[in-house]
Amino acid sequence: MITGRLRWLATLLAGLFGILAIFSGLDRFSEHQPSAIRLVPEAFRVDALRVEAARALASGDAERAEALASKVILAGPHDARGPAFLGAARLMAGEQSSANEAFAVARSMGLREPLVQAHFFDTALTEGDYAEAARQLDILLRAHPRLARIDYFFTSLEASEEGRARLAARLSDDPLWSGSYLGDFHASDEVLRSRARFLAEAGGGLNLSCRSVEPLVRELTQRNYMREARDISRTYCARRNQGGLLADPQFEELGNGNTFGWRRHGSGDVRISSVGESDKAVEIENRAGVTRLVLSQPIVLEAGEYRVFGSVAGANADRVLISVTCSVPGRPRGGGGALGRGQLVSAPDCPDQVLGIWLRPGSGALRLDDMRMERVGD
């Protein structure tokens, strides 16, 4: 459809000007002062003409863009940008057949011109050939990985089951553009959440590391989409999610800065330290005269009652208290009880739940390990 292609064309042109230095070889004077083309020697005017043609396309002036593209072809007949600009101008004018011919000529000159690959990507999508669309996108982004910031390419593939499968297959090869796909976020909330669901569902077919998805997890968390963030974390960060509802139940990754890991809340009166080598635990001590928060982590739970269990070693083990609140850890209201038997907590209905571990004052340190959480009635 012409309307769909005009959309990607406008988006791509805006991305080219905003992201890529695609015209790195152009004469600087003509690039920044296009009105002064007449002052540029004839041999260098082709560079200025390319700039003018691209700007005419970006402004939607198809007639002027076609005229300039024709001049670019005459001045530089072996450069793919001339026929690519001509194809884009004719596409913008609704001349589908002649646009395809121009793009085919541009493609025969090489694979690095982004307008050409974008055109054939879109053509493959229109024909329902998702394998070819994914191949064209891979070619485009391997040459220009920062174009991964343009959402249209990915959302077009993510919109269908077969498109998602083809995209997952390309991601499994860890291409150069995967970092942009997983770490550059200019997308709307809707696009980002859809991408997160796709990645979580495709977990079995993707070989992504926990570290590679961490930027996406952080971004989702910052936008307060904790459920989507947790689903991705659970899919690709198996080691830190062995506790089911809790992340890093054995405190193996304490202090690593993981989004869904434990956060320390130390102070002058509170000591928190990781102990052990192959079998780690956390040691906590509170020398203050009041109950203090020592650890917390973001969680995603259905509203209701839960029991939190843990192994506590040391004198007066019932000094450990658990809270589940919204946004920030809140001081426990109940009496607590030994974690070995499970402390009862109530999870509120909110998107930013957080579990807190508190320690009452007392002499000596406690060692905490093997945390888990279960819903009452399950």
pLDDT at 253 over 60: yes
pTM recorded for the entire structure: 0.67
User: What is the reported pLDDT for 329?
Assistant: 92
Residue 209 tokens read as 């590391």
Among 93, 158, 171, which Cα is nearest to 130's? 158
Place 272 in a pLDDT band, splitting at 50, 70 and 90. very high
Amino acid at 263: R
Residue type, 206: L
Alpha helix positions (H), 76-150? 81-92, 96-108, 114-126, 130-143
User: Both tokens of residue 338?
Assistant: 């030994």
pLDDT score of 57 more than 90: no
**What does the radius of gyration of the chain's CA atoms come to, in whole angstroms?**
28
Query: Could you tell me the sign of the dihedral formed by the alpha carbons of 331, 337, 338, 340, in that order?
Result: negative
Nearest to 147, CA basis, from 106, 175, 181? 181
Give the pLDDT score at 214. 86
241 pLDDT band (50/70/90 cuts)? Answer: low
- Give me the percent of the chain exceeding a pLDDT of 90: 26
Could you tell me which residue, 128 or 95, shows the higher pLDDT? Answer: 128
* Cα dihedral value 347, 349, 350, 353, nearest 10: 10
User: What pLDDT is stored for residue 12 in this prediction?
Assistant: 63
**Three-state SS sequence of 41-97:** CHHHHHHHHHHHHHHHHHCCCHHHHHHHHHHHHHHCCCCCHHHHHHHHHHHHCCCHH
Range scoring the smallest mean pLDDT among 251-255, 271-275, 308-312: 251-255
Higher pLDDT, 24 or 222: 222
DSSP conformational letter for 337: -
Q: Which pLDDT value is given to residue 238?
A: 65
Residue 325 confidence (pLDDT) above 80? yes
Label residue 17 by pLDDT band (50, 70, 90): very low
If pLDDT is split at 50, 70 and 90, which confidence band does 6 have?
low
Half-sphere exposure of 327 (CA within 13 A, CB side): 0
Under 8 Å between Cβ of 359 and 270: yes
Given a cut of 50, is residue 91 above it in pLDDT? yes
The secondary element (H helix, E strand) that includes residue 320 is strand 320-326
**Closest Cα to residue 85, out of 109, 61, 50?**
50
Query: What per-residue confidence (pLDDT) applies to 338?
Result: 82
